[in-house]
């Protein structure tokens, strides 16, 4: 059977949570080097060394082929700048496919540009929904999925959401979670990380915190109550808190300082060292999307400081506790967990380290047939 193969593919990364999603796909594409020319475009949405460069190094990613350097700005500015610059790249490079991941502003911006130029787009991590349209990420998810050609889904809820929204099933592929591919690929490196020693931490005896959502950290009252909460929790366990630039700016802006030597405030931490902290933590308190999934895979207790999650499998069968944004409830849940009331947790379906290979087979096998036909051919080994 003659199969017309895709040649040039551009994957887009923009912000920190994108890098670990594209890395396994890039590594998997290398097995098809004679058929696929894979290029990476970094929009520059995140630009600090500790938010970006260190991730490329940790994940063994090559230097990006294109760097748009858009930086910070309002949502409209950031999205518009990515669109203007990315259009120039697509007009020059004319790829057959653009791959976007996650739900950041760069994701929706690049999908919109590609689809208006009639270039096929694939969205990895499609179908996740918080059903909260005040979250910019929810708008990004809805728009990206509505115009993408391949929708690669990480958990069952994604399938249901896309079908309910009327997306044709031939476009939808349940492939599992690429971020877990990265985690599995880097776990042994994390085991030899020196980060625990560097911060004087004992496995299963500390709390790891990350908080960056504007809805949390832009509020002076929330930040104030957070510091008070950490002071109380630090009497029970040491706390390590790698601080996102947005959170740092607000902490400084509101004039807060922690003088508690059991609360370790640090700059953002690279992928491998952060993985070591995640694996060894007794408890994680976060408002991140990805950390809810990583902690579920590792069976580590996680409290999510949000009123909803677009990743319901992590609360349904994983170790994630959705506590809401009321810090009293967060404290109560944290104390219960530290006293031994832990969720057992299971690893969700297809979070097995082979997601990127499934995606690669589907993309390499694509030859203009319908999605489900391609999937069937891939399964039969004809892809
Ligand atoms: C973005 C994503 C969010 C993701 C998060 C992970 C959107 C809408 N949001 O939010 O989904 O969970 O990344 O980190 O796309 N800044 C720096 N250095 C950097 C990057 C940002 O100082 O390298 C500062 C910016 O000046 C800005 C703030 O951090 O004030 C926020 O950056 P931005 O990219 O707007 O959004 P995030 O909050 O990081």
Distance of CA 301 to the CA centre of its chain: 18
What pLDDT, in 10s, does the model give residues 321-359? 999 999 999 999 999 999 999 999 999 999 999 999 999
Which ligand 1 atom is nearest residue 136's CA?
Answer: 8
Distance between CA 214 and CA 226 in Å, rounded?
14
3-state secondary structure of 185: helix
Q: In what order do the strands lie in the sheet with 206-210?
A: 263-266, 238-242, 206-210, 283-286, 301-304, 320-322
**Banded model confidence at residue 59, pLDDT cuts 50, 70, 90:** very high
What pLDDT, in 10s, does the model give residues 88-144? 999 999 999 999 999 999 999 999 999 999 999 999 999 999 999 999 999 999 999
Is residue 45 within 6 Å of ligand 1 at its C-beta? Answer: yes
Residue 370 has pLDDT above 60, yes or no: no
Distance between CA 367 and CA 373 in Å, rounded?
10
- What per-residue confidence (pLDDT) applies to 5? 54
Is residue 105 within 6 Å of ligand 1 at its C-beta? Answer: yes
Residue 39 CA, ligand 1 centroid: distance in Å: 24
Distance between CA 100 and CA 343 in Å, rounded?
33
What would the two tokens of residue 136 be? 């910019």
Question: Where does the chain show beta strands of DSSP type E?
Answer: 8-13, 37-42, 66-67, 97-101, 120-126, 150-153, 172-174, 206-210, 238-242, 263-266, 283-286, 301-304, 320-322
Residue 246 CA, ligand 1 centroid: distance in Å: 7
For residue 309, give the nearest of 96, 254, 298, 295 by alpha carbon: 295
**Banded model confidence at residue 383, pLDDT cuts 50, 70, 90:** very low
**What is the sign of the dihedral through the CA atoms of 351, 353, 356 and 359?**
negative
Q: Whose CA is nearest to atom 22 of ligand 1?
A: 245
Share of the chain above pLDDT 90, in %: 90
- 100 - beta bridge partners? 123
What pLDDT, in 10s, does the model give residues 288-313? 999 999 999 999 999 999 999 999 99
Look up 212 and say whether it is catalytic.
yes
In the block, tokens 């990420």 appear at 137
Q: Rounded to whole angstroms, what are the CA distances from 362 to 12, 151, 356, 358, 377?
A: 19, 11, 10, 6, 9
Q: What phi and psi, each to the nearest 5 degrees, are found at residue 250?
A: -75, -40
């Amino acid at each position: 059977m003659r199969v017309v193969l895709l040649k040039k593919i551009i994957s887009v990364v923009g912000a920190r949570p994108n890098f670990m999603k594209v890395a396994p796909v890039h590594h998997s594409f290398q097995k098809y080097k004679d058929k696929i020319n894979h290029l990476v475009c970094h929009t520059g949405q995140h630009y600090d060394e500790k938010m970006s460069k260190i991730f490329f190094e940790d994940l063994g990613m090559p230097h990006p082929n294109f760097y748009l350097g858009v930086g910070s700005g309002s949502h409209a500015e950031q999205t518009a700048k990515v669109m203007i610059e990315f259009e120039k790249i697509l007009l020059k490079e004319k790829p057959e496919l653009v791959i976007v991941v996650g739900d950041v502003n760069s994701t929706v911006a690049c999908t919109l540009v590609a689809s208006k130029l009639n270039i096929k787009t694939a969205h990895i991590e499609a179908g996740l929904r918080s059903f909260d349209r005040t979250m910019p990420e929810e708008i990004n998810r809805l728009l990206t999925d509505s115009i993408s050609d391949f929708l690669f889904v990480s958990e069952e809820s994604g399938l249901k959401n896309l079908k309910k929204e009327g997306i044709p099933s031939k476009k939808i592929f349940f492939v599992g979670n690429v971020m877990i591919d990265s985690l599995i690929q880097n776990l042994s490196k994390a085991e030899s990380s020196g980060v625990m020693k560097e911060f004087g931490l004992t496995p299963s005896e500390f709390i790891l915190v990350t908080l960056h959502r504007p809805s949390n950290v832009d509020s002076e009252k929330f930040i104030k109550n957070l510091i008070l909460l950490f002071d109380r929790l630090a009497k029970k366990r040491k706390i390590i808190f790698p601080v996102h630039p947005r959170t740092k700016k607000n902490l400084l802006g509101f004039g807060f300082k922690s003088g508690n030597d059991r609360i370790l405030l640090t700059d953002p931490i690279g992928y491998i060292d952060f993985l070591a902290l995640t694996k060894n933590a007794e408890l994680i308190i976060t408002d991140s999307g990805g950390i809810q999934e990583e902690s579920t895979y590792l069976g580590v207790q996680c409290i999510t400081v949000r009123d909803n999650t677009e990743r319901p499998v992590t609360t349904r069968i994983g170790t994630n506790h959705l506590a809401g944004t009321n810090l009293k409830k967060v404290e109560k849940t944290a104390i219960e967990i530290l006293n031994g009331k832990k969720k057992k947790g299971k690893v969700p379906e297809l979070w097995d380290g082979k997601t990127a290979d499934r995606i690669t087979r589907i993309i390499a096998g694509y030859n203009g047939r319908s999605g489900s036909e391609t999937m069937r051919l891939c399964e039969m080994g004809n892809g």
